[in-house]
Each structure stands twice: as C-alpha cells, then as structure tokens.
A and B are shown apart, each in its own frame.
Chain A
Amino acid sequence: MALSADEVRHVARLARLALTDAEVEALAPQLSQILAYAEQVGEVAAQDVEPTTHPFALRDVSRPDEPQPSLPREDVLAAAPHAEQDRFGVPRIVSEEG
C-alpha cells in the first residue's frame, strides 16, 4: 500500500519521532516501496498456520524469587542527561500515562 504524508506523520507520532516536512516527503515513497515489497507475504496461504515468535519452543523459563544486588545509584545516574535529587529529570510531562 502507498502511505500518504499524513499517514507517515501519524506513524511518526506513534513512534515519537520529530520528522521534518522534507523527511516526511522523502519517507512516504520509500516506506510505500518497502511495504509493497513486504506485502508479498500476503500471497502465502497461511490461515491455519501457527505464528512463530521463537525458533525454539522454550517454555516456563523463570527464576527463583531471590534478591540479587542492585546497581549503585551513582552508576545508574551517571549516564543520565539530567539528574536531580537522586532521580532522572525530564521537562514538564504533558500527556497522561497509558
């Protein structure tokens, strides 16, 4: 399918990517071309086929409820672009949680 510029902007919002108009214009035909190619999967009759998410059907992998050492706080906060009061700082949050 061909993606319109508006659809590209919608997807970019979902992906939280600030795209310039030029990027949107460039991406619309590229994404459309890639999707057209990928849509070949639709030619395969697969109604009754179970999807695969792992090459190996592993099951019931879990760990015991036993505490392990956490990281020193300095190590975690060291990489933060903005830290304050031992926390990760972000500008004003506008949206509400999912």
Chain B
Amino acid sequence: MSATTMSGEPISATTAAEHGVDLLQGDTGEWELVVGLEVHVELQTRTKMWCGCSTDFGADPNTNVCPVCTGQPGALPVVNEQAVRDATLLGLALNGEIAPICRFHRKNYFYPDLAKNYQISQYDVPLVNDGWLDVEVPTGDGQSVSRRVRIERLHMEEDTGKSLHVGDTGRLHGADRSLIDYNRCGIPLLEIVSRPDIHDADTAQAYLRELQSIVRATGVSDARMEEGSIRCDANVSVRRPGDELGTRTEIKNLNSIRSLGRAIAYEAQRQIGVIEDGGTIVMETRHWDEGRGVTETLRVKESVTDYRYFPDPDLVEITSPAEKVEAIRTLLPELPAASRARLGEAGVTPEQAAAIIATGLLPWFDDAVAAGADGAAAANWLVGDIAGQLSAEGLRIEAAGLTGAHVAELIALIEDGTLSTKLAKQVVAGVIDARGAKGPAQVAEDQGLRQVSDEGELRTIVEQVVAANADTVEAIRGGNDKAIGALVGQVMKETRGQADPRKTNELLREVIG
C-alpha cells in the first residue's frame, strides 16, 4: 500500500528499541517486527446504521431486512444517532480527538454480501483521530511493562451480510454456491486503526485485550470474538533496524487473541525467511489457518484494488461541537486502567485484576464488595472456582444467574465457618444448577452442606475414630505425625466431608494426647 494513511499523511511507526522490545534473530542478522492492527467492533445499537431494522443476533435469515439494508433501488440511508454517540464515546475512551466535522464516503467494490456493492464508510475525515492506548504487557515473571500504542483513527461504517457456502467443504473454496443472509448487512461497525507501533506478538495481544476491555467498559459492544462482534486484522512487516518500513501483508481470519499472537509470530518468521532466501515480500492478504498454524495467500491482487472513494451524496456531514463532545465525555465510565488501579488497592493481584476486567466480571466484583465481601476473596472466587465451573458448563455468568451478592454471601459463609472451601465449591455448583434461583445459604441448607464445627458433636466422632483405629494412634504416638491425615480422613468420611478440617486436627491431637 502507499506510504500514507487514508488521511494522506505519511505513515509513522515507532521502533522496537523505543518500546524495549527484542529484535528477531534471522540467519543474516537482526530484524525488527512492525505490526499495526485494524480492529472492527460491531455496535450494540438497537437498530442498524442506516435503517430501523433490528440488530438482534441470531434472528432467522433475512428477517431483519428492509429496502435500505437490502439495497433496493430507490432506498436511502439515514444515520443512526446512537451509533454516532457510541463511536464518539469510544473515541474519547481511546484518548482520540473528535473531528468537528466529518463525513461519509462510499467504498466501491463488488461482493454479494454487500447489498449496494459499495460500503458506506469514512475516508479522509473520520470521526476520531490521533488516539492512543497504554497497554500492560506481561513480562512472564508476574510483572508487566506498559507500552503506548498510538491509534491513527476510528471511523464509522457498516457491516456486510453473511454468506453460507454450500457444497463439498462448507468453506468458500470448494463451495459450488453461496447463500446470502442480509440480517447483518448495515449493522453499525467501527474500525479502529492503530499506528504500526507494535513490535512483538505479546504487545499485539495485550492491545487487543485492552481494546476489548475498553469497548466493554463503555458498553457500546459486548466485543465477543467468537460471535464476531469484535474482529481483528493484522498488518505485518519486517525491516532491518533503522530501515524504511518493509512491504506488509494483511492477515485475516484471526478468531481469537491467541491466534493473533500465533499468526504474527509465524508471519514474522515467514517474511524473514523469504527475504533471507533472496525473495521479496508481496503485498497481499493472507489467511490464518488455525489448525495448521500457517498463513496462506488469500488473494494475489491482479490489479491494485481501487475502491473509488467519493463523498456519499445520500448523506450529510456530521458535526461534533465541543458542547456535544463534552456532554458525551461525562458518560465515560471507569476505564480498565483505572479499574486495575482500584482493584490493586482492594488487594487484588494484577493478574486477577486483568482477568476480572478482560472477562467482564468487574460488575460482579463491585457488587460483591458492595455487599460486604473482602476484595481479595471476591477476586479469588470470581476468577478461580466460579470462572472454572462456568467455563466447564459453557455458561456465561449472567446466564448462570450468579450475582455479586451471591459471591458475598458465599464468602461470609466461609468466614463464619459454616462452609469449608471444599463445601463452598459444591455450593457454587448448586447455585449454578439453580440458575441463581437459590442463593448460597439456601443451597447449603437444602443440601445439608455445612461444616461440623460444633465442638461437642465433633469430639464424639473424633473419640469414636480414635477408639476404632488403635494401630494408627499408636503410630502417631510413636512419632509418625503424618499418619494423623488418615484419621482426619476417617472423620471426614463419618461427617460426609462436612467436618471443619482445622478443628478436627486440633481435637484429634487433643484426644490422642
């Protein structure tokens, strides 16, 4: 591509050295990796970008369609005002400058899932310019380093329909025909273009994760990669340190943050290999094959793509006067960086804080703390056992009916000795089974799950166990302290696992003497 951005300015990239990132070692010397990311976010407005059709995900094919979004002759677009507000809010969250006047252009290309055969997008004057994002990149030793990635622009556009490829393979290649559903066509889409300021796969992944968290914090989208509500393409090139930017390839089909990292690492090595073998990098789009772990040529451009951008005469300019921008700024929620700081003060470890934010559990954390839970304990349960059980069940926390109050209740039951950690995990399972219709205390009561910590009751059981295991008792008295574990196990068995382990231990020692 040309060495200028869409707004016509020269492309500027940072260097690996500025970011303290190691260079890549090739056979002929060192290489610097240069990556820029294009992220698409589907907005969660109620209606599409240009028409009043619903944006519901998963509706029957071609039921959320009208003359506008199916490109019927004579139909005209009208901007969804909420989409502009959402885009502005996200732009502010990304530290961007909101353009006082912006407009829409047509990007002309033929594709069956694009009903008008042009996409309404923004070109030389996008809504948002010059943002940035500070991302925390883990260094592998439990610590992290902060790197700033500049954002060139954020612009508004529309999504395309979905093609179902019918034939042998179900994939595009090998299909004998395709069937188009325009439900998704016209859903508001934001494109966020980073500067080529990324020099390793870890930073790319951290950037995408941070962006996803910010999108969720602002509430403009659920940003789910698996449902396509956030998508990422990577522009990858390599160069000798100090050289001009190398020819880049664009990698598509990155379906997870993990594939983003793998694909960048693979593509960097591939490009270095090609150049070191005397070849040249071809500007092209490459497809990431997750199964085989390789990128493949998707399209060799026979002629340079020519989108023939021009201002859409069906739409008018959008202005963002300072008052409007400031009013939207007041709607900015706490952003992940601030949340991380706050969680740290509440005693949550950085890893857990990152996990809580990335998985969207912050509201549950806040609710639990508001209901009296200790921050560290709430974080432990949320990203530990609760997340584990939900993931095993394939459920999202809201679908499971778990609330922050439930978490607080659970922790209180542990703290007052009613539940052991082990029992508490069973209680979590019970709450999930009931989809939240029963809280932890109710589940514990219904299932008779409570620690036996009443001293009189426990002492009787301990005495019975000691009497029935004379050999073991002898061994302990003879100095085999570890053998006490077997007696604890016996007590647990007698109490169906509900004995308080600490107290059991104490009583055993006391009775054995």
Contacts and interface: CB of A to CB of B under 8 A. Distances in A.
B179 A68 contact: no
Size bin of chain A's contact surface: 35 or more
B316 A76 contact: no
Interface in A34-70: 53-54, 57-70
Contacts of B45: 65
Contacts of A91: 176-178
Interface stretch (B125-133, B300-308, B345-353, B355-363): B300-308
Interface stretch (B53-61, B202-210, B263-271): B53-61
Interface string B158-194: 0010011111000010011111111000000000000
Contacts of A90: 112, 177-180
A53 B63 contact: no
A26 interface: no
A68 B313 contact: no
A67 B46 contact: yes
A71 interface: yes
Contacts of A68: 47, 51-53, 66
Contacts of A97: 109, 111, 113-114, 160
Contacts, number: 140
A57 B101 CA distance: 12
B499 interface: no
Interface in B229-258: none
A2 interface: no
Contacts of A57: 317
B482 interface: no
A21 interface: no
B441 interface: no
B178 A59 contact: no
A66 B61 CA distance: 21
B119 interface: yes
A87 B180 contact: yes
B318 interface: yes
A59 to B, nearest CB: 5
Contacts of B60: 73, 86
Given A59-B317, A63-B79, A93 B160 contact: no
Nearest to A61: B316
B67 to A, nearest CB: 7
Nearest to B176: A92
B88 to A, nearest CB: 13
B70 interface: yes
A6 to B, nearest CB: 11
A71 B307 contact: no
B83 interface: yes
Contacts of A95: 111, 299
Interface in A1-29: 10, 13-14, 16
Interface string B294-329: 000011000101111001010111110000000000
Given A67-B54, A98-B305, A92 B179 contact: no
A61 B325 CA distance: 17
B5 interface: no
B163 A93 contact: yes
Interface in B77-92: 78-84
B177 A66 contact: no
Contacts of B144: none
Interface in B85-116: 101, 107, 109-114
A1 B452 CA distance: 95
Contacts of A65: 45-47, 80-83
Contacts of B113: 97
B70 A54 contact: no
Nearest to A11: B306
Interface of B: 45-47, 51-54, 60-67, 70, 78-84, 101, 107, 109-114, 119, 160, 163-167, 172, 175-182, 285, 298-299, 303, 305-308, 311, 313, 315-319
Interface of A: 10, 13-14, 16, 53-54, 57-71, 73, 76-77, 84-93, 95-98
10 contacts: A14-B308, A65-B45, A65-B47, A71-B66, A73-B65, A88-B180, A88-B182, A95-B299, A97-B111, A98-B114
